[in-house]
A = this chain, B = another copy of it.
Amino acid sequence: MAQLNFDGVDYEDGVASDPVLNGWMQGSPPRADRTIRFADDRFLYFPQNRWALSHIRELLPTVNVPRGRGPEWSLGSPAPADVDSVEALMIESLDGRRRSFSEALTDTYVDGIAVLHRGRLVYERYFGALRPELPHLSFSLTKSYAATLAATLVCEGALAADQRVTSLLPELVGSAFEDASLRHLLDMQVGVAFNEDYADPHAQVWAYARAAGTRPRPAGYTGPDGIQDFLATLQSAGPHGLIFDYKSVNTEVLCWMMQRATGVPFAALLADRIWGPIGCEFDGYLGVDAKGFAVGGSGLAMTLRDLTRFGELMRCNGARGSNQVIPAAVVADIRRGGDRAKFAGAGYDLLPGYSYRDMWWVSHDEHAAFEGRGIHGQRLYVAPAAEMVVARLASHPVATSAAHDPVTMPLLRALGRLLKGA
């Protein structure tokens, strides 16, 4: 059986680990050794994640992000010639290995990929447990949705970029967030002691997950109950504004500020300001903690095509046709990017020249692309200079994007070059 090696560990490849063919959650009851249970705490790990990321709602409490009742934003269907052109691409990864386009997908554990060119689908493919109608956990793509909404509220005056967190959230006085501003949150420049190394089983990110209820709590658990209580425990790691320091907890604070300022929960903001206006085909959903607070750092699930629609909205400077859904100034600010020097100091060797703004990763590359990125391979690549959007949902064995970017980045840039020539 085909295997890939990451960090010295061998994993079955995307074909061999297909969750349906391997019997995960098939039958009633499923085989004991093919049952995926929240309590086992394995559902976010390979190979269980290959099924679970398309079925999170069956494992956790969630709140709906309704699409409303308007007509969907039509994306058309890929023409056979377009599909052939895409599949004829050979992908040369950063280590010089050449793969067919299909191999590049299965070697990066893709569950679904859709490519839009000038607003029309030119490629769309599903693997494993994902289907067109199933929302898939997007992990940190959630952040790009959240911060785009927060920047919109700033533009409208409901929030201010220099506003102190504690002016809205007195609950966080005494925490790391006490003298942080909304801008510090948006650009991940908060000095907060929070270890988010997913490869470290003792990292605080797991305490955050237990507080949020997104992983099981041990018997006798006495830790923080809910995301908001957890945020209040976080301590300072130095001044704000000095370095780019990616911490998911910043997005939770951001979402809490939005809810406090507007009185509207994050799920309803998403529904009212994105899902409805861009004509999503299907409802999305968000994981919620034990008090009903949505997991704003990583909890949003959406279908592949609905993710593509959000990307297309951003490519079109926030407008769907004549409807300016997100202010053009918000998108322009994201496209300009953030402080490249601060980003360069953060150690992302595979992302030379990038910056980070409003919870988007800004490539400053040949396609002027900006990206939403989530662990285990989630990606929304918005490439204005190629008039292209690529949405990719995946269930990679390794959390960090560094495990697949050597294949993913050449693939995305090759798609952009192909379509630029089209």
Q: Which residues of A contact B (CB under 8 A)?
A: 25, 28-30, 35-39, 57-64, 66, 69, 133, 219-220, 226, 228, 256, 259-260, 265, 281-283, 288, 290-293
Contacts and interface: CB of A to CB of B under 8 A. Distances in A.
Contacts of A66: 133, 282
A78 to B, nearest CB: 18
Nearest to A220: B219
23 contacts: A28-B228, A28-B259, A28-B293, A29-B291, A35-B291, A35-B292, A36-B292, A37-B290, A38-B61, A57-B57, A57-B61, A57-B63, A57-B64, A58-B61, A58-B62, A58-B63, A59-B61, A61-B61, A62-B62, A66-B133, A66-B282, A219-B219, A219-B220
Nearest to A227: B29
B61 A288 contact: no
A153 to B, nearest CB: 15
A310 B28 CA distance: 27
Task: Return the 3 tightest CB-CB contacts between A and B, nearest first.
Answer: A28-B259, A58-B63, A37-B290
Contact of A228 (B29, B60, B69): B29
A279 to B, nearest CB: 13
Contacts of A259: 28
Contacts of A282: 66
Number of copies: 2
A283 B133 CA distance: 12
Given A28-B256, A28-B259, A219-B220, 5 more contacts: A38-B61, A58-B62, A58-B288, A66-B133, A66-B282
A292 B62 contact: no
Contacts of A64: 57
Nearest to A25: B292
A36 B288 CA distance: 13
A23 to B, nearest CB: 13
B57 A291 contact: no
Contacts of A29: 226, 228, 291, 293
A226 B292 CA distance: 25
A164 B61 CA distance: 36
A283 B281 contact: no
Contacts of A39: 290
Q: Find the residue from A35, A62, A228, A256 having the highest chain B CB count within 10 A.
A: A62
A151 to B, nearest CB: 20
Contacts of A265: 28
Contacts of A256: 28
